[in-house]
Chains A and B, each alone.
Chain A
Amino acid sequence: MQLDEEAEAMRRGAHGRARQWAIEHQLRVGRYFGAQQMVRVDQAHIMADTESLGAVGVDWLESLAALPPEERRVRIPTITDPRGTDFTRTAALRHEEWMLDLERRAIAAFEAMGILMTNTCINYQTIMPPVFGEHVAYGDTGVVIYCNSVLGARSNFEGGPSALAAGLTGRTPSYGFHLDQQRRGSLLVELSWQPDALHEWGALGGVVGRLAGDYWRVPVLTGLRQAPTSDQMKHFGAAMASFGSVAMFHIEGVTPECRSLADVFDGGMPPERHRVTPDDVQRLLASYNDGADGVDVVVFSAPQLSLLEMQQVADLLDGRRVVTPLLAITSPQVKPDADRLGLTARIEAAGATVLSGMCFYQSYAREMAEAHGWKRLVTNSAKLTNIIGGYGYRPVLLSAEQCVEAACQGCIP
Chain B
Amino acid sequence: MTEFLARSAMGAPVRGTAMVASDGFSARYDLDRIKGVFVRPGHKLEGRAYSGMILVMDRAKGGVATAWMLREMASRGIVPAALVFNTVNPIMVQGAAFGDITMMSGFDVDITQVVQDGAVVELDTTPDRKLLRIIG
Contact = CB atoms under 8 A, between A and B. Distances in A.
A47 B75 CA distance: 20
A49 B65 contact: yes
Contact of A245 (B60, B65, B67, B95): B60
A53 B72 contact: yes
Nearest to A48: B68
> What is the predominant secondary structure among interface residues of chain B facing chain A?
mixed
A214 B59 contact: yes
Interface residues of A, number: 46
Nearest to B103: A32
B5 interface: no
Interface string A146-185: 0000000000111111100000000000001000000000
Given A54-B68, A387-B28, A159 B94 contact: yes
B40 A389 contact: yes
B91 interface: yes
A139 B64 CA distance: 7
Interface string A118-142: 0000000000000000000001110
A282 interface: no
Contacts of B98: 25, 159, 161-162
Contacts of A56: 71-72, 75
Best-buried of A56, A176, A242, A390 by chain B (most CB within 10 Å): A390
A245 B39 contact: no
Interface string A24-68: 010011001110000000000001110111101100100000000
A159 B68 contact: yes
**3 closest A-B pairs by CB:** A159-B67, A54-B72, A215-B89
Interface of B: 8, 10, 24, 26, 28-32, 39-42, 59-69, 71-72, 75, 87-91, 93-95, 97-98, 103
Interface of A: 25, 28-29, 32-34, 47-49, 51-54, 56-57, 60, 139-141, 156-162, 176, 213-216, 241-247, 361-362, 366, 386-387, 389-390, 392
